[in-house]
Amino acid sequence: MAADIVVPIEHEQDIVMARQQGRQLVAEMGFSSTEQTLVATAISEVARNILMYARHGEIVLTALQSENRRGIEVVARDEGPGIANPALALTDGYSTSGRLGLGLPGARRLMDELDLATVPGEGTTVTLRKWAP
């Protein structure tokens, strides 16, 4: 398995870097152009969350291999304020920043799997996975 790609997120241009790296990773796996865009868009959303709420963090991209399936894992990690009500954050329509809660539920729809781990005052880790069809 290839090594992880770690993209520090501190400035908005890092968001572009993260999604370009993600696109390239899944392109090499044979994801279609449309699937690549879905992955890049999901990365853009979670990377932007890091900037908006935690100001800095990192995106870790990993190529996955399971049985005869290939996929990508995107981990968006920060040591920011955390999410007080994770269940609510995963519900459409909820947001504290006026984004109408399109972040996490949207990212989940773009990918196949989403896991949210968060501790208020300590940080947040969002894990997304998408498998080649």
Partner 1 sequence: MPVPILRQADLLVATIQASLSDQDLVRFRDDLAREIGRARSTGVVIDVTALDVLDSFASRVLRTIAHTARLRGATTVVVGIQPGVALAMVQLGVSLEGIPTALDFEDGIALLRGRRRKKAHEEGAHGG
Q: Name which position in 34, 67, 121, 133 contacts partner 1 (CB under 8 A).
A: 34
Q: Is 102 in the site for partner 1 (CB under 8 A)?
A: yes
Interface pattern 53-72 for partner 1 (x via CB under 8 A): --------------------
Gap between the Cα atoms of 87 and 60, Å rounded: 24
- Residue spans of beta strands (DSSP E) within 1-133: 5-9, 57-66, 69-78, 113-119, 123-131
Gap between the Cα atoms of 108 and 73, Å rounded: 13
115 near 127, Cβ under 8 Å? yes
- Which is nearer to partner 1, 33 or 68 (by Cβ)? 33
Q: Is 21 in the site for partner 1 (CB under 8 A)?
A: no
Binding site for partner 1 (CB under 8 A): 12-13, 16, 19, 23, 33-38, 40-41, 44-45, 48, 92, 99, 102-103, 105-107, 109-110
